[in-house]
């Protein structure tokens, strides 16, 4: 009774563990027993694997692409820098800041419209440019054609002389809306003023008075003799 119960319990244990029968298996003749994989000991460091090996394991078996089909693209060289031109500009700017052009320099270079009656001292023109003569009246020629501007300027000068005024301002504009950006009235006004003997001098106005868009004109004093003529 006891022997049957132990046998039954043994069978029940084998049924509960399906891999128990594997322990009774023996290797075939000539077959070496399979070695159990080595287990990592506690505290043993993992072997280091370089990045190239990890990359090859990740991508698997691949065939490298040959270099014969690659196109050689040459990068164009950068444009040459005008170093000498920049150095010259910097030197010119430094010189202009250290030694700025005077009014006399601008007169000699022709950068500003100016006129001085022959026989008069150049100091007169310099004083006019430096606002030592305050304008007593002004005329604006904007919007007038050639004939209208000439007539209006002549009448204005005659009135100023009759009233004993010495300095006037003629506004002709900068010609920003004219073809080529050149003020036609500026050229015409300069020519008309230079032809009149009552005009002693004129020059470009200061920036706060119109700059390149206006002229400061110095008139002859009432009763004064005409400049450049000898008394009879």
Residue 173 · residue 179 · CB < 8 Å = no
Q: Rounded to 5 degrees, what angle do the CA atoms 174, 123, 194 make?
A: 45
Residue 165 lies in a domain: yes
Determine the Cα angle at 25 with ends 20 and 30, to 5°.
155
Instruction: Provide the domain count of the chain.
Output: 1
Residue 231 inside a domain? The answer is no
CATH number for 131: 3.30.1370.110
pLDDT over 60 (residue 4): no
Burial (CB count within 10 angstroms: exposed 0-12, middle 13-18, buried 19+), residue 219: buried
CB 220 within 8 A of CB 164: no
Q: pLDDT, tens digit, for every residue of 108-120?
A: 545 678 888 999 8
pLDDT at 89 over 90: no
For residue 11, is pLDDT > 70? no
**Is 211 inside any structural domain?**
yes
Percent of the chain at pLDDT above 70?
A: 60
Query: Residue 40: what pLDDT?
Result: 55
Which one has a higher pLDDT value, 99 or 47? 47
For the ranges 5-9, 120-124, 205-209, 220-224, which has the lowest average pLDDT?
5-9
Tens-place pLDDT, residues 27-85 = 666 555 555 555 556 556 666 778 888 887 887 777 777 666 667 778 888 888 777 77
Whether residue 140 lies inside any domain: the answer is yes
C-alpha–C-alpha distance, residues 199 and 42, integer Å: 113
User: Does residue 159 have a pLDDT over 90?
Assistant: yes
| Segment 5-33 mean pLDDT | 57
Task: Out of 4-8, 15-19, 140-144, pick the least confident.
Answer: 4-8
- What is the domain extent for residue 158? 113-219
| CB crowding 6-23: b at 16 or more within 10 Å, else e | eeeeeeeeeeeeeeeeee
> Average per-residue pLDDT in the chain?
75
What does the pLDDT read at residue 152?
95
**166 found inside a domain:** yes
Instruction: Tell me whether residue 75 is in a domain.
Output: no
Structure tokens at 110: 């022709």
* pLDDT tens track for 162-173: 999 999 999 988
Indicate if the pLDDT at residue 178 is higher than 60.
Answer: yes
């Amino acid at each position: 009774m006891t022997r049957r119960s132990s046998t039954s319990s043994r069978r029940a244990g084998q049924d509960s563990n399906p891999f128990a029968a594997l322990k009774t298996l023996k290797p075939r003749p000539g077959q070496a027993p399979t070695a159990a994989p080595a287990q990592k000991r506690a505290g043993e460091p993992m072997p280091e694997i370089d990045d190239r090996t990890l990359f090859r394991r990740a991508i698997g078996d691949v065939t490298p692409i040959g270099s014969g089909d690659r196109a050689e693209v040459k990068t164009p060289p950068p444009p040459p820098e005008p170093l000498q031109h920049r150095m010259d500009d910097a030197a010119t700017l430094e010189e202009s800041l250290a030694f700025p052009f005077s009014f006399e320099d601008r007169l000699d270079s022709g950068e500003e419209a100016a006129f001085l009656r022959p026989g008069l001292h150049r100091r007169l023109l310099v004083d006019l440019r430096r606002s030592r003569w305050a304008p007593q009246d002004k005329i604006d020629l904007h919007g007038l054609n050639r004939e209208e501007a000439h007539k209006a300027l002549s009448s204005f000068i005659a009135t100023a002389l009759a009233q004993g005024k010495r300095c006037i301002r003629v506004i002709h504009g900068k010609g920003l809306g004219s073809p080529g950006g050149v003020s036609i009235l500026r050229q015409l006004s300069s020519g008309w003023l230079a032809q009149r003997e009552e005009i002693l001098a004129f020059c470009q106005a200061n920036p706060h008075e119109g700059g390149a868009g206006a002229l400061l004109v110095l008139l002859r004093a009432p009763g004064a003799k005409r400049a450049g003529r000898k008394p009879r």
